[in-house]
Chain A
Amino acid sequence: MSVLTLTIEGRDVAGQTGHTILQVARENGIAIPTLCHLQGLSDVGACRLCVVEVEGQRKLFPACVTTIDEGMKVTVNSERLAAHRRRIVELLFTERNHICSVCVADRNCELQDLAVEVGLTHFDLPLLSPQAVVDATHERFGIDHNRCVLCTRCVRVCDEIEGAHTWDVMGRGTEARLITDMGIPWGDSNTCTSCGKCVQVCPTGALFEKGRSVAEARRRRPYLPYLVAHEGRTR
């Protein structure tokens, strides 16, 4: 595995071939906002929060899936990127119904943290306020589609780590939403092993543990050792 040298934010850094800009940046303490990325799961480059500028390229590149090249000059923080990230977080907040004040994940949600990180204080765009349901048929867990940002972490962890592939996305565009098996209530699923990995990886209050309220913040992913062990393994 040969080592490549490049500059990120003007700093000379080195990384192994095949590693992504995100990996190398984080190894060198350079922060890049992410949402759909989760170490241990395959990357899909869907939320676009981690797009960065590469010198000599008009296009922006998602740091989570773009592998490094020798002599690459990467800019992570620029006015343009900051504005794009703020807009992406705003779009997510306006797509469905993210009412932090009454959400089970209040003060324990990555989308909420991102709003602070990108400096979002309000939404210029109107809230789309779609109708979305809550499925609490599972004995221990529930899903609130109002809070889902379609990052598909749950789909990936269920497929790649648990192997049950209970979750998938149905429909297209902004009508897309998560389903269990043939679109049946979660409690009736016969592929779900009730392992709860999806609940642990969900960045927002969409997947939650029943009986555990906002006051009892749930433990987050760092405690899932087997996820880190499967670094980047895709199936």
Chain B
Amino acid sequence: MLNLAQIVQSHALSFFYLSSPDLLLGFDSDPALRNLVGVARQTPDLARDGVALRRFGQRIIERLGGKRIHPAWVVPGGVSRPLDASERDSILAEIPDARERAHRTLEWFKKNVASWTEEAAHFGDFPSLYMGLVHEGGNAAYSDGLLRVVDSSGWVMADGVDPRAYDEYLGETVEPWSYLKSTYFKPLGYPAGIYRVGPLARLNVAERLGTSAADAELAEYRDRLGRYPSSSFHYHYARLIEIVHCIDVIDEILSRPDILDPHVRARAQINRNEGVGVSEAPRGVLIHHYKVDDDGLVEWVNLVIATGHNNLAMNRSVLQTARHYIKGDQVKEGMLNRVEAVIRCYDPCLSCSTHAVGQMPLEVDIRDAEGSLLRQVSR
């Protein structure tokens, strides 16, 4: 439930705080106004929905983990204390409002989706693999389940993969120009093994989400875009559907009879020296692999962060968007903004995945056919 709340708040942040200015005010609008404040002024309701949805997710995290950022509730062996009735009821009370806002935003998005057809066609629309966690029945999984990889036509490249075997399917490589490592799908090798994770990938990989309202939206999503949409632009649409889904799952979980059961903590000694944990973070598959010594001290760690999985896809998308929108040597600000907007589709968290570079330095080299440099533009 903590993870689902995190997905709701993170998706709200990505859609409302970071991407809505492009979508609402237009990719070519005045950059000085093209931000959350601009959105708040133009469509206060949408902005309020965003803040409310994010607060809904954060408040759940705060109640369970004591604080909104870096909560301390999950412990090795379970959680540190059970849920009490008052917390459950106060969350349940907020669900209707959140559900209504989620649907309203989804409807708004669907109404306007037509105005972004050009962007949709050139924001990283290329065939690639998709990876995500799935339950046996094909339902989308967010905190357990097994890994499934499908290609852009839906052919299942790998299924029921136990997370412990992640390193048989995923390889990592380094590019000299970035602290963010690139992961690739080993069976296809590098760079052919390009794959995407996150909302777009999850909806492609899963048969269905598992909650009625969300599955209805999913069906409409697939009617509009096809069974396996391949443009990264649709991350936005997928995110909104996932918000609806997560809210409903939280509702289900809280309605379970045993939700208040006090047995929430298992205690164990060090009976294994290695462990792998995989979950679906808001931005995609998150892999934690630890090795400990016999006393329980962590000796070795490997974390593959969601944004890392998407690195190759993001680079390919920037290339595609830049090629399309930059013609001749004239470059309008809106064009450069679109090059960045395609990256925002992935909702990358460069800090988490690199811990070194906080800001995206954007430099565009404009070369002529022979490759000689015409102009260099940096933003």
Interface residues of A (CB under 8 A from B): 101, 106, 134, 136-137, 139, 142, 187, 210-211, 213-216
A-B residue pairs in contact (CB < 8 Å), sample of 28: A101-B70, A106-B72, A134-B297, A136-B296, A136-B297, A139-B269, A142-B295, A187-B295, A210-B296, A211-B76, A211-B77, A211-B267, A213-B72, A213-B75, A213-B76, A213-B80, A214-B72, A215-B65, A215-B66, A215-B72, A215-B73, A215-B74, A215-B75, A215-B79, A215-B80, A215-B81, A216-B75, A216-B80
Known: A211-B267, A215-B72. 17 other contacts (CB 8 A): A101-B70, A106-B72, A136-B296, A136-B297, A137-B295, A142-B295, A187-B295, A211-B76, A211-B77, A213-B75, A213-B76, A213-B80, A214-B72, A215-B66, A215-B74, A215-B75, A216-B80
- Find chain A residues with CB under 8 A from B267 CB: 211
Q: Give chain A residues whose Cβ lies under 8 Å from the Cβ of B74.
A: 215
CA distance A210 to B81 in the complex (A): 17
With an 8 Å Cβ cutoff, the count of chain B residues facing the other chain is 17
Alpha-carbon separation in the docked complex, A142 to B84 (Å): 32
Complex: chain A residue closest to B267, CB-CB: A211
Closest chain-B Cβ to A211's Cβ sits at a distance in Å of 6
Q: Which residues of A contact B79 (CB under 8 A)?
A: 215
List residues of chain A with CB within 8 A of the CB of B65: 215
Counted as pairs of residues, one from A and one from B, with CB atoms less than 8 Å apart, the total is: 31
Partner of A136, one of B70, B76, B295: B295
Specify which chain B residues have a CB less than 8 angstroms from the CB of A142 in the assembled complex: 295-296
Which B residues lie within 8 Å of A139 (CB)? Answer: 269
Mark each residue of chain B from 59 to 93: 1 if its CB lies under 8 Å from any CB of chain A, else 0. 00000011000101111110111000000000000
Give Cα distance in the complex from A134 to B292, angstroms.
13
Q: Closest CB of chain A to B179's CB: distance in Å?
A: 22
Task: With both chains docked as a complex, state the minimum distance between the C-beta of A213 and any C-beta of chain B, in angstroms.
Answer: 4
- Once bound together, how far apart are the Cα atoms of A127 and B296, in whole Å? 28
- Chain A residue at minimum C-beta to C-beta distance from B66: A215
Closest A residue to B73 using CB positions: A215
Most A-side CB within 10 Å, residue of B72, B77, B269: B72
Interface string of B258-283 (1 = CB under 8 A from A): 00000000010100000000000000
Bound Cα distance from A134 to B295, whole angstroms: 10
Residue of A nearest to B71 (CB): A215
Q: In whole angstroms, how far apart are the Cα atoms of A139 and B74 in the complex?
A: 22
A210 CB contacts on chain B under 8 angstroms: 296
> When chains A and B are docked, how far (Å) is the Cα of A211 from the Cα of B334?
54
Please name all residues of chain A whose beta carbon is closer than 8 Å to the beta carbon of B297 when the two chains form the complex: 134, 136
Nearest to A137 among chain B residues (CB) is B295
List 6 A-B pairs, minimum CB-CB distance, nearest first: A215-B80, A136-B295, A215-B72, A213-B75, A216-B80, A214-B72
A153 to chain B, nearest CB (A): 24
* Complex Cα gap A215–B80 (Å): 6
Which residues on the A side are within 8 Å of B73 (C-beta)?
Answer: 215
CB neighbours of A215 from chain B (8 A):
65-66, 72-75, 79-81
Closest to B268 in A: A211
Closest Cβ of chain A to B241, distance in Å, is 33
CB distance from B352 to the nearest CB of A (A): 15
Min CB–CB distance A173 → chain B (angstroms): 28
- Determine the residue in chain B with the shortest Cβ distance to A139: B269
- How far is it, in angstroms, between the C-alpha of A220 and the C-alpha of B296 when the chains are bound? 24
A214 contact set on B, CB distance < 8 A: 72
A211 to B292, CA, bound (A): 14
In the assembled complex, the CB of A227 is this many whole angstroms from the nearest CB of chain B, namely 27
Contact residues of B between 287 and 336, Cβ < 8 Å to A: 295-297
> A216–B81 Cα gap in the complex (Å)?
8
- A133 and chain B: residue at smallest CB distance: B297
Residues of B within 8 A of A106 (CB): 72
Residues of A within 8 A of B66 (CB): 215
